[in-house]
């Protein structure tokens, strides 16, 4: 095994997880990363004293081994705090999750929600064919259409009837009626969100959690693969260079990986193109005030509010901003398959700022010190009804070739950071088990 050349594509959480597992066995892999920086989807960027991650990132793993590895990576210089999240709907801010925090919303609306929730609790469960069916059976029609279905359309870019249910897990809290009633009568409710404790590097942004793994492989930045010759086991790069491999681990998005490979059957290529994911326009804003919100992030359900979710990087670490300043990160979602991005990313900056003022997060008097728009072409996997079938085809083909895949867009699943890292470890283990 030590004589084999193991190549890893991508220096994000999954790729570094694979390198870490191999290093544990005394094997030094080579990582090729097309960008000039590491971190992949978990990269961090600094400009004008403001640090923003490539979308909101925090560590909340309950895996003590992974937590220790991440914290060791930053010399245990870590911020730790309890999660606070809320929701915005038609001028109302309510605690998250909404189903057990209805207090303060219009009374007739709350009564209708509770009545329907009670009815679905006592009815026989219907056949569940999609996410819409699951929501109706769990929460009733009014709550479902006002909150999770509306948020899902903004976040996933498609209607709930076109989505599967295999991604839900603990993400949508299942309350009993006592909790619903207490949350309707009082604003003082227990914290039941599935994320309770955050961890974030004190300095340098979220990507610093991976610094400790960079010396566990030969990391080659700015090496964009343009072709994979699977029979010869050769990689071609945009620079004209070539490199061989004996075993290949890829954390690349599956459609990109398949597009690089030679002699791919048409049905496999077509299946890879049917795998859907969202593209996120990330609008980052720095302001001359830090007391912007009591919540670390907020979900937005109104269609006329341009962003789907916002978070506050300065609340994750005070070192993410200049002293006395605040920062806001807004997410606006598109997808190639369901809602293509056709405008320039910069065109969303001012509308996003305007909606911050509309939602009373910013004031007209606040001074904008920094603003930018970034595009994350691969933001989140969309769990549409085509996914399982197409994924079986693509993964089956890669398995036949012995190409290991990992990470959110290699496994095409709902991985958080720790899950992506472990996914990389598991991909490496498959090679070690040969």
Q: Mean per-residue pLDDT for 320-339?
A: 98
The count of other CB atoms within 10 Å of the CB of residue 204 is 17
Cα–Cα distance list, 285 to 42, 50, 302, 328, 417 (Å): 19, 9, 21, 5, 24
Whether residue 418 is predicted with pLDDT greater than 50 in this model: the reply is yes
Whether residue 1 is predicted with pLDDT greater than 70 in this model: the reply is no
CA neighbor of 27 nearest in space, from 38, 15, 18, 35: 18
pLDDT, position 400: 98
Q: Mean per-residue pLDDT for 97-116?
A: 97
The domains located in the chain, with CATH, are 6-43+207-273+387-432 (3.50.50.60), 97-185 (no CATH)
What digits encode the pLDDT tens for the residues 338-351? 999 999 999 999 99
Q: Mean per-residue pLDDT for 294-312?
A: 97
Whether residue 288 is predicted with pLDDT greater than 80 in this model: the reply is yes
Long-range CB pairs of 357-361, under 8 A, 24+ apart, other chains included: 358/305, 359/88, 359/300, 359/305, 361/292, 361/293, 361/310, 361/328
Whether residue 271 is predicted with pLDDT greater than 70 in this model: the reply is yes
What digits encode the pLDDT tens for the residues 156-199? 999 999 999 999 987 888 899 999 999 999 999 998 876 778 99
What digits encode the pLDDT tens for the residues 121-132? 999 989 999 999
Instruction: Give the span between the Cα atoms of 14 and 29, in whole angstroms.
Output: 14
Q: Across all residues in the chain, what is the average pLDDT?
A: 96
Instruction: Give the span between the Cα atoms of 318 and 295, in whole angstroms.
Output: 15
Residues 6+ apart with CB under 8 A from 168: 131, 134
What digits encode the pLDDT tens for the residues 20-29? 999 999 999 9
Phi, psi of 111 (to 5 degrees): -60, -45
pLDDT, position 3: 63
321: left (phi over 0), alpha (psi -120 to 50) or beta: beta
Is pLDDT larger for residue 10 or for residue 197? 10
CB 50 within 8 A of CB 231: no
pLDDT, position 169: 82
Task: Tell me 307's DSSP state.
Answer: -
Instruction: Give the span between the Cα atoms of 278 and 339, in whole angstroms.
Output: 9
Whether residue 364 is predicted with pLDDT greater than 70 in this model: the reply is yes
Whether residue 2 is predicted with pLDDT greater than 50 in this model: the reply is no
Q: Mean per-residue pLDDT for 356-369?
A: 98
CB 269 within 8 A of CB 425: no
CB 405 within 8 A of CB 254: yes
Instruction: Give the span between the Cα atoms of 342 and 172, in whole angstroms.
Output: 32
Cα–Cα distance list, 23 to 216, 220, 433 (Å): 6, 17, 15
Whether residue 98 is predicted with pLDDT greater than 90 in this model: the reply is yes
Instruction: Specify the length of the chain in residues.
Output: 434
pLDDT, position 153: 98
Instruction: Give the span between the Cα atoms of 197 and 419, in whole angstroms.
Output: 17
Q: Please, what's the b/e burial string for 396-411 (b: 16 or more CB within 10 A of its CB; e: otherwise)?
A: ebbeeeebbbbbbbbb
Between helix 64-73 and helix 417-432 the angle, nearest 10°, is: 100
What digits encode the pLDDT tens for the residues 52-88? 999 999 999 989 999 999 999 999 999 999 989 999 9
CA neighbor of 12 nearest in space, from 375, 409, 383: 409
Q: What percent of the chain has pLDDT over 70?
A: 99
């Amino acid at each position: 095994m030590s004589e084999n050349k193991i190549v890893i594509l991508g220096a994000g959480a999954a790729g570094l997880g694979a390198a870490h597992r191999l290093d544990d066995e005394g094997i030094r892999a080579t990582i090729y990363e097309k960008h000039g920086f590491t971190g992949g989807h978990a990269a961090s960027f600094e400009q004008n004293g403001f640090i923003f991650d490539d979308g909101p990132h925090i560590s909340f793993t309950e895996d003590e081994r992974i937590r220790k590895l991440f914290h060791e990576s930053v010399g245990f210089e870590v911020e730790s705090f309890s999660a606070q999240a809320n929701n915005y709907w038609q001028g109302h801010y309510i605690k998250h999750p909404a189903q057990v925090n209805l207090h303060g919303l219009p009374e007739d609306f709350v009564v209708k929600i509770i009545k329907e929730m009670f009815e679905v609790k006592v009815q026989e469960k219907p056949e569940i064919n999609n996410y819409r069916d699951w929501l109706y059976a769990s929460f009733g029609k009014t709550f479902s259409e006002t909150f999770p279905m509306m948020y899902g359309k903004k976040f996933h870019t498609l209607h709930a009837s076109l989505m599967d249910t295999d991604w839900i897990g603990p993400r949508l809290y299942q309350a009993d009626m006592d909790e619903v009633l207490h949350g309707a009568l009082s604003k003082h409710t227990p914290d039941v969100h599935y994320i309770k404790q955050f961890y974030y590097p004190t300095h340098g942004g979220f990507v610093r959690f991976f610094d400790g793994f960079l010396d566990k492989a030969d990391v080659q930045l700015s090496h964009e693969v343009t072709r994979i010759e699977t029979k010869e086991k050769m990689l071609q790069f945009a620079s004209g260079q070539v490199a061989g491999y004996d075993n290949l681990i890829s954390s690349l998005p599956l459609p990109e990986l398949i597009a690089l490979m030679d002699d791919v059957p048409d049905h496999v290529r077509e299946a890879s193109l049917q795998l859907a994911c969202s593209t996120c326009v990330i609008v980052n804003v720095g302001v001359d005030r830090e007391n912007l919100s009591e919540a670390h992030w907020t979900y937005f359900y109104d269609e006329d509010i341009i962003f789907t979710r916002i978070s506050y990087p300065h609340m994750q670490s005070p070192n993410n901003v200049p002293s006395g300043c605040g920062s806001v990160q807004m997410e606006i979602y598109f997808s190639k398959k369901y809602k293509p991005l056709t405008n320039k990313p910069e065109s969303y900056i001012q509308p996003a700022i305007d909606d911050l003022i509309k939602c009373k997060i910013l004031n007209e008097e606040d001074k904008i010190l920094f603003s930018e728009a970034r595009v994350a072409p691969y933001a989140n996997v969309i769990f549409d009804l085509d996914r399982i079938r197409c994924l079986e085809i693509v993964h089956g083909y890669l398995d036949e070739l012995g190409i290991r895949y990992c990470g959110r867009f290699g496994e095409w699943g709902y991985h958080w950071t720790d899950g992506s890292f472990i996914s990389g470890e598991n991909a490496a283990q498959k090679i070690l088990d040969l």
